[in-house]
Structure 1
């Protein structure tokens, strides 16, 4: 629409503006959102209709203030949409203002109309969404870290089970060696006994040999007794190792169950994180309204 600015308006212009003034109180009744509605000529407000949650305290005859959105729309001859943050708002709450010029029958600008909507509740909602999004990211990161640690614990448990199995295998081999030692001790003892008998049969000439035979028999007995003691110790170690093995196996099962549970949580938190992130982006798209 091509228009030209004029400084004053005639009676017809006044009639057009009066129509907007007449309609202004009905706008909130015909919409779901809650607005402040303002109608002005080029110098002053002709009406200011507060909403139930937003009121700028403007009334008929109040002058237009420089740099307000309605003045920008009139001066630039274009529709202006502007978001005002709470810290920049003179009214203490954030709002979105949409202003448009009003024209006479010849497309000359004779005034303007502005709709202002409080976005305080939306801002609080967007803040909550952003907080939830950040919290879900932290939860997801912590869950993934816990899952990785549980996975590492499971790997350690598997390794310990492997070491425990190897220990049992080595103890079994040791038992075989000890049984072999016992066999040698028995045979050595038998050999020493025969040597003693032969030394006794020979008499005085075999006395020295008899002493050696007795020592061989004593050595055989000591070796056999030591082997039995070692076997007892190894049996105890085997029992303890089996108990440790069983405990580690239980830990492994518990770790596997924990990993499955954490994996389910991770998948869930990832899904929720993606949804909240998508919701956050959508809320920011709704919240970031650029000036037109």
Structure 2
């Protein structure tokens, strides 16, 4: 940008509109909530440059308006301009807005430019982008946890089903055990009766008595074994019932955790959408769009 400034600037008689804006510009700079610099010119020359709080354009009164500086285009084309100036030009990113100054007849008599520092918006964009990335990572983690909970729920459901099947099998074993016990009792009674009959018989009945004793011993042994089986079945059934109760508790907790995880995932999704929207809005401001495209 050429800076055609004379060594000794003689300020000419300016149009009252331009003079008024020169008087108002310092106060206007204080009114803006953002860090701004303000310049006022006639149709050819800059006559006031109010520096910003943290930056300055380095332009002095007497600077000749040059194509590309925004204020030149305002005077030349008769329309307002809005240009984004990158950080490499003045040390801070800036949004340059220029408007024409007109007399009562609508003739252009000068221009006023306002440069707004975009440093805060750049920082906002960086924070929003970081937040968006962090939320995406958290969302992915939550989805992974939710998937694990669902797998756990499915596995617990399978275990519960298999436990029910084992319990049914144990009931069948109990029925068989009871039947064996019944047969054992009948065999014992039969053996006892045979012993009685053998005692009434002669020497020929002694062999029969031996068989009767063996039948009773076999019946007693079968009875003891069925009692052991019955006790084992009782213990297994008790353990299976405790397992079923534990599975029920785990299923309830899993359902609760699953619902909480889904709610958390939904909330994080909303935060993610807001972060993305914030990042886009900040980017639109920094790029000079000013959020015009945001719905």
- Short-chain TM bin: 0.7 to 0.9
Say yes or no: does 1:56 pair with 2:57. yes
Say yes or no: does 1:82 pair with 2:69. no
Secondary structure of the residue aligned to 1:115 is strand
Partner of 2:262: 263
Deviation at residue 195 of structure 1 after TM alignment: 2.8
| Partners of 2:122 and 2:282 within 8 A in 1 | no
Query: Where in structure 2 are there 5+ consecutive unaligned residues?
Result: 1-11, 291-295
1:66-116: CA deviations, max 9, x gaps? 744445556666533222343xx2332211112356679999988654211
Could you tell me how far apart the structure 2 residues matched to 1:48 and 1:13 are? 16
| Partners of 1:38 and 1:49 within 8 A in 2 | yes
| Partners of 1:54 and 1:117 within 8 A in 2 | no
| Partners of 2:55 and 2:91 within 8 A in 1 | no
After TM superposition, the score normalised by the length of structure 1 is 0.77
Secondary structure of the residue aligned to 2:168 is helix
The equivalences for 1:31-46 within 5 A come to 31-40=32-41, 45-46=46-47
| Partners of 2:42 and 2:109 within 8 A in 1 | yes
Deviation at residue 117 of structure 1 after TM alignment: 0.7
Could you tell me how far apart the structure 1 residues matched to 2:282 and 2:17 are? 38
| Partners of 2:194 and 2:212 within 8 A in 1 | yes
Could you tell me how far apart the structure 2 residues matched to 1:30 and 1:172 are? 87
Deviation at residue 181 of structure 1 after TM alignment: 0.4
Partner of 2:144: 145
Deviates most, 149-158 or 66-75: 66-75
Could you tell me how far apart the structure 2 residues matched to 1:162 and 1:94 are? 66
Partner of 2:4: none
| Partners of 2:180 and 2:222 within 8 A in 1 | yes
After TM superposition, the score normalised by the length of structure 2 is 0.76
Deviation at residue 229 of structure 1 after TM alignment: 1.1
The equivalences for 1:207-286 within 5 A come to 207-286=206-285
| Partners of 1:73 and 1:100 within 8 A in 2 | yes
Compared with structure 1, are the counterparts of its residues 204 and 74 closer, same or farther at alpha carbon in structure 2 (3 Å cutoff)? farther
Partner of 2:26: 25
Deviation at residue 187 of structure 1 after TM alignment: 0.9
| Partners of 1:82 and 1:290 within 8 A in 2 | no
Query: Where in structure 1 are there 5+ consecutive unaligned residues?
Result: 1-10
1:205-254: CA deviations, max 9, x gaps? 34444433333222222211111111111122122212222222221222
1:120-166: CA deviations, max 9, x gaps? 11221232223333333333343343234323323433333333233
| Partners of 1:96 and 1:119 within 8 A in 2 | yes
